[in-house]
Amino acid sequence: MRGFALKTYSFISPALFAAIRPFSRFNSRLRTFTAVRNKLFEELEVKLQSLSTPSYRLWVHAASVGEFEQARPIIASLQAAYPDLTVFVSFLSDSGYNARKNFSGASAVFYLPIDTPGNAKRLLSLLKPDLLMLMRYDFWPNHLLAAREAGTRMILAAAVLQENSQYFKPLLRGFYRSLFNLFDHIYTVSAKDTRAFREVFGCRQAETAGDPRFDQVVLRSRNTEKVSRLKLLYENRTVLLAGSVWPPDEALLLQAWLQLEKRPSLILVPHQVDPENMQRLCRELENRKISFMKASAIDRSFDPEQQVLLIDRTGYLAELYRLGSIAYIGGGFGVNVHNTLEPAVYGIPVLFGPRYHNSPEARELLLAGGATVIHDDTSLFTVLKNLTDDCSQRKTQGAAAAAFVQQRTGATALISGYIEKDYLKWKKKELQRPQR
């Protein structure tokens, strides 16, 4: 049954994807998905022309930006030790590709081809990877089978098995059992996930490593250049940094902040910085008679004690948290809270709204004492008042947040250690190979 399920998928996949293609005319996302892959192989061949000398080739696949960020510390660690390492990065999503297409650590960044046996074999013949590291999920059977047939070692990193996911459905369990066992090693984010891989899917090669995102936020927190100028402005000030905020967050945040007698300096970082949203937010601040200045227009007249700093460009929120004494994270009054690890690494209290249950790290940070849940502007006012008035409480909660992150680092060393061993085996063979 195991082999039969994968063979059946491989057999029907070309017809399946061919049948879907005509519908791209009526669906913009599907149209983009197919359009960006039209000249994929031709473009990839051009990118690979410069790779003339033999090198160990690591292929990293990520569904989108979040999964790639989990791979970044692993890539950085390996390249620091072995500069001759060649890295390829593939993405499924156009958002992931567009955000990281200029990643300097890779010889080629490209879209994963549509998952047919022919495409998969063609890709493997071009890349000739020694090892494939697939991040978290996004399993495409034909590419995994082609990698296995080509003799490429494969590891699954930052693996999770969400409860009630399709993996556990009786009709699909055998299929995924076959798929998961194609991997030479599986590194999970928790002991619970390891047990599921071992007991439900028979993956004896599963091992708990933790989440590389903790290593990534620590690594990124060392980057001080992006906010060095702003750091001088906010030195020795109590700063409330509100990151990835949406309109519901802004409403209660501004209401609570205005009520404070001892107001911290406020830095507002909206989740969306498009012109329309920025105009709306500027009107909101003006209506509330709040003086502000956009970061893009900041000059010597800016007074952090009297004015709100409005961040109007993306790309450095993680670094901005360095300026904060208290962090408010948006999204908790919408679908789900945004990244709570980025502020926690700096040892500051983290506040967010009631919708956080889809974020395991937010739940755990709360239990660790590094975060507080906000339910309305009244509760936010109370929490902000306590944290601004009581420095010891702020330090205690901030220390708990920092400890939460630091205690969960280490996944990078474990995963990169596995790849390093494979690299050294490859290197030994290369040195033993007769010179032409």
Strands in 371-373's sheet, in edge-to-edge order, are: 292-294, 308-310, 265-270, 239-245, 326-329, 350-352, 371-373
Q: Are 289 and 258 in contact (CB under 8 A)?
A: no
Helix (H, G, I), strand (E, B) or coil at 140: coil
**Coil vs helix vs strand at 91:** strand
The secondary structure of 321-352 as a DSSP string is GGG-SEEEETTTTSS----SHHHHTTT--EEE
Q: Where are the beta strands (DSSP E) in 38-146?
A: 57-62, 86-91, 108-111, 131-135
Q: State the sign of the Cα–Cα–Cα–Cα dihedral 138, 144, 147, 153.
A: positive
In angstroms, rounded to a whole number, what is the distance separating the alpha carbons of residues 245 and 40?
Answer: 37
The one catalytic residue among 42, 43, 67, 235: 67
The C-alpha torsion from 134 through 137 and 139 to 143, rounded to 10°, is: -10
In Å, how far from its chain's centre is CA 25? 31
Buried b (16+ CB within 10 A) or exposed e, 102-111: eeebbbbbbb
Tell me the three state secondary structure of residue 135.
strand
Give how far Cα 132 sits from Cα of 72, 73, 129, 190, 252, Å.
15, 16, 7, 22, 46
90: phi then psi, degrees, rounded to nearest 5: -120, 150
Rounded to 5 degrees, what are φ and ψ at 269?
-125, 95
Nearest to 119 by CA among 62, 49, 37: 37
Quick check: 145 and 123 in contact, CB under 8 A?
no
Reported as half-sphere exposure (CB side, CA atoms, 13 A), residue 135 has a value of 27
Provide the 8-state DSSP code for 376: S
| CA–CA distance, 6 with 27 (Å, rounded to integer) | 29
Beta bridge partners of 135: 157
* Surface-to-core class of residue 261, CB atoms within 10 Å of its CB (0-12 exposed, 13-18 middle, 19+ buried): exposed
Residue 207 annotated among the catalytic residues of the structure: no
Kindly list the catalytic residues: 67
